[in-house]
Structure 1
Amino acid sequence: MPISLAALAFSRDHSSRETFDAESSARDAACAYAKALTNYDAQSIDTYVATVLAGATGDFKTEFGKTSGELKDVIVQAKIQSQNRDARCGVDTANGTHAEVVVAMSVSISSLGTQGKPVPSQISLVASLDRIDGRWLVSKLDAPALQPLRAADPPVEPHAN
Structure 2
Amino acid sequence: MTGAKKEVAMQARRNHTLKIIKGAKPGVPGRAAQRRMVPRQLSQPEEPIEDLLQRLDQEPVEDPAELADPAAGDDPADADAPPEEAAGGRPAEKRATPAPTRRRRPLIVLLVVVLAAALAAAGMTGHRWYVDRATDQARQEAIAAAKQASVNFVSVSAASVDRDIQRITAGATGDFKDEFSRGQSQVRAAVVENKVDSRGSVLRAGLVSGDRSRAVVLVAVDATVKNVKSPEGRPSHYRIQMDLVHDKDSGQWLVSRLQFVG
Instruction: Name the structure 2 match of 1:28.
Output: 144
Match of 1:96 among 207, 212, 216: 212
TM-score normalised to structure 2 length: 0.53
How far 1:87 sits from its partner (Å)?
A: 4.2
Which stretch shifts more, 123-132 or 83-92?
Answer: 83-92
- Contact 1:85 1:108 (8 Å CA) reproduced: no
Instruction: Name the structure 1 match of 2:172.
Output: 56
- Contact 2:224 2:233 (8 Å CA) reproduced: yes
TM-score normalised to structure 1 length: 0.84
Match of 2:201, SS? strand
Larger Cα Rg: Structure 1 or Structure 2?
2
**CA–CA distance in 2 between the matches of 1:79 and 1:66?**
22
Tell me which protein shows more strand as a share of its residues. 1
Instruction: Name the structure 2 match of 1:75.
Output: 191
**CA–CA distance in 1 between the matches of 2:203 and 2:195?**
24
**CA–CA distance in 1 between the matches of 2:126 and 2:215?**
24
- Contact 1:34 1:87 (8 Å CA) reproduced: no
Aligned residues: CA RMSD: 1.3
Match of 2:253 among 130, 136, 142: 136
How far 1:48 sits from its partner (Å)?
A: 0.9
In structure 2, stretches of 5+ residues that fail to align are 1-116
Greater relative CO (CA pairs within 8 A, separation 6+): 1
How far 1:34 sits from its partner (Å)?
A: 1.1
Q: How many residues matched?
A: 144
Instruction: Name the structure 2 match of 1:109.
Output: 225
Per-residue CA deviation, residues 110-147 of structure 1 (Å, 9 max, x unaligned), is 11121x011111111111111112111111002123xx
Per-residue CA deviation, residues 29-74 of structure 1 (Å, 9 max, x unaligned), is 1111111111111111111111111110111111101101111111
- Contact 2:139 2:215 (8 Å CA) reproduced: yes
Match of 1:40, SS? coil
- Contact 1:127 1:141 (8 Å CA) reproduced: yes
Report percent identity of matched pairs.
Answer: 28
